[in-house]
Amino acid sequence: MLMMYRHGLRVSEAVGLRRDQVNLAQARVWVQRLKNSLSVEQPIAGDELRAIKRYLATRTDKLPWLFISERGQPFTRSAVNYLMRIAGESAGLKNVHPHVLRHSCGYYLANSGVDLRTMQDYLGHRDPKHTVHYTRVAGRRFEGLWDK
């Protein structure tokens, strides 16, 4: 879930992640975007990198997928949907689904003052009209305009 949020992954992109797409030595992940989006290499933050290393240290298999189920198979979309729903319910939230994490990533970037073009590339959008949605509600982008 952390990687889905931090990298704005769609559920299919997350379940399709392979070990060879993660470079632990350089703390980078190759995000292979789907839906005709632009793929890109992204940095992995320190806490996320440590979590990935801890997780991989528990695995003895040589399977290519980064995330596997207890049955040794890649996660399915429905399994991730189920886990998200259960996590949301235990947090007292309703209608939580994996795509909420992608939207949360977009809103976080917009509220952090990341420029539109960088957000567009990070999320893999070919057309900026899909990225603009996140900036429309970012009121903080107007702060400081007249402070000079």
**Among 29, 15, 6, 25, CA closest to 64:** 15
pLDDT digits (tens, 9 = 90+) for 46-90: 999 999 999 999 999 999 999 999 899 999 999 999 999 999 999
C-alpha 26/C-alpha 43 separation (Å) is: 8
C-alpha 108/C-alpha 77 separation (Å) is: 24
pLDDT digits (tens, 9 = 90+) for 17-54: 999 999 999 999 999 999 889 999 999 999 999 999 99
pTM, rounded to two decimals: 0.88
What's the pLDDT at 142?
74
Distances (CA, A) of 65 to 128, 133, 139, 143: 31, 32, 40, 44
> Where in the sequence numbering do the catalytic residues fall?
10, 35, 99, 102, 125, 134
C-alpha 135/C-alpha 114 separation (Å) is: 9
Give phi and psi for 7, each to the nearest 5.
-110, 5
C-alpha 70/C-alpha 9 separation (Å) is: 22
What's the pLDDT at 25?
97
